[in-house]
Structure 1
Amino acid sequence: MIFVTVGSQKFQFNRLLEEIDRLVEEHKIGADEVFAQIGYSTYQPRLYRFQKFLNKEEFLEKIEACTIIITHGGTGSIINGVKRGKKVIGIPRMMEYGEHVDNHQFEIIEQFANSNMIYSIVDIKELEEALVTVTNLSFRKYESNTENIINILNEYLLKEVN
């Protein structure tokens, strides 16, 4: 399954949803292969299943069930997919299309792509090719740094106490 998520901020990401409909209509992907969380988008998909919002459990269930995640440049969506070893295609929301207040998602997606954790595209028309390309790619596994940070803090606090 392909899980499409556009986040929960009060901005639309219509051009992504429209492109998915085009790919389904042209039989590039099957309608039964796609589920989208469309958030505040005003475009409602015609040819695939969707829901405006998912609660946390539903969101994580969709991530577990999918093989590919197509997402905006939200760190939560990206990290949830990467942590679970999913193939992630990141597409930044763009200010010029009224999809966000600025273009910061370019930097977020670029960092993840440069770290070989996700595949990124900017031009929505590259999505069809990206879906083919990503299936043959291997990505770097997510490694949590939490334990290392806790150890550093513990060492620091122990020095302060002694």
Structure 2
Amino acid sequence: MQNVPVRIPRQRTPADRPTVLVAVGTDRHRFDRLIDWLEQWQAAAAGRAAVHVQYGHSRAPRFEEATAFLDHDALQRAMAGASLVVCHGGPATILEARRHRHLPIVVPRDPAHGEHVDDHQLLFARRLSDAGLIRLCQTQAELAAALDAGLREPTRFAVASDTGGRAARQEAVARVGGIVEELISARASRRILAWRSR
């Protein structure tokens, strides 16, 4: 069965309202927990921001604009026009958000909730948070606080422009790649130790 993007009709919003872009990626697992948290936050935020959601295989959310999937160009345009970016813990999505000068608000998928096959997003997001490259949110309260702070003071969730150009981007990609390799190595070592102890 082919996945066809579903668009919920966009309601007109005042031009001066900030936009929160949410990207859950394309993983086949649902991420309804994040959708629920966002809907509850928006209800409490009383329309202070327009929320645009790329929801993947999750349930269709009740927002001004929502679509299951965005192609690469559409995602780039959405990130460029967003005031804040919320995303899952996928390395590519995080890098794209940073490339568009956002400090992404990251809610990693958790296998304990059936949102992914393993905990690599949790581990990866914690490493990036420790390095100051993302704002990690693992609870609903943390997400609400981050969104509220971002609406009050958007500059807290902006990163400096990439003045180094291509070399700086390649260095950032290499740094993220190194973190991913370390996590994979550590996971493989744990599996070998567990297998040997049988």
Q: In angstroms, what is the RMSD of aligned CA positions? A: 2.1
State the TM-score, normalizing by the size of structure 2.
Answer: 0.66
Q: Which runs of 4+ in 1 moved over 4 A?
A: 138-142
Report the counterpart of residue 41 of structure 2 in structure 1.
23
Contact in 1 for aligned 2:52/2:63 (Cα 8 Å): no
Contact in 2 for aligned 1:73/1:90 (Cα 8 Å): yes
Aligned counterparts of 2:83 and 2:49: Cα–Cα separation in 1: 13
Give per-residue Cα distances to partners, 1:117-149, cap 9 Å, x unaligned: 211111133211011334352666563235xx8
Aligned counterparts of 1:115 and 1:22: Cα–Cα separation in 2: 30
Aligned counterparts of 1:109 and 1:118: Cα–Cα separation in 2: 8
2:156 counterpart (126, 137, 146):
137
1:96 counterpart (112, 120, 123):
112
- Give me the identity figure in percent: 23
Aligned counterparts of 2:98 and 2:88: Cα–Cα separation in 1: 14
Aligned counterparts of 1:23 and 1:86: Cα–Cα separation in 2: 20
May I ask how many residue pairs the two structures share in their alignment? 145
Instruction: After TM superposition, give the deviation of residue 32 of structure 1 in Å.
Output: 5.7
Does the alignment pair 1:77 with 2:93? Answer: yes
Inter-CA distance 138–130: structure 2 relative to 1 (3 Å threshold)? closer
Contact in 2 for aligned 1:32/1:48 (Cα 8 Å): no
Aligned counterparts of 2:24 and 2:42: Cα–Cα separation in 1: 18
State the TM-score, normalizing by the size of structure 1.
Answer: 0.80
Aligned counterparts of 1:31 and 1:133: Cα–Cα separation in 2: 12
Contact in 1 for aligned 2:60/2:68 (Cα 8 Å): no
Report the counterpart of residue 54 of structure 1 in structure 2.
70
Contact in 1 for aligned 2:102/2:157 (Cα 8 Å): no
Aligned counterparts of 2:25 and 2:100: Cα–Cα separation in 1: 18
Unaligned runs of 5+ in 1: 150-162
Give per-residue Cα distances to partners, 1:51-103, cap 9 Å, x unaligned: 00011111111011102110000011100011111131011100111100111
Query: What's the secondary structure of 2:95's corresponding residue?
Result: helix
Does the alignment pair 1:14 with 2:32? Answer: yes
Contact in 1 for aligned 2:104/2:157 (Cα 8 Å): no
Does the alignment pair 1:3 with 2:21? Answer: yes
Paired amino acid for 1:137: R
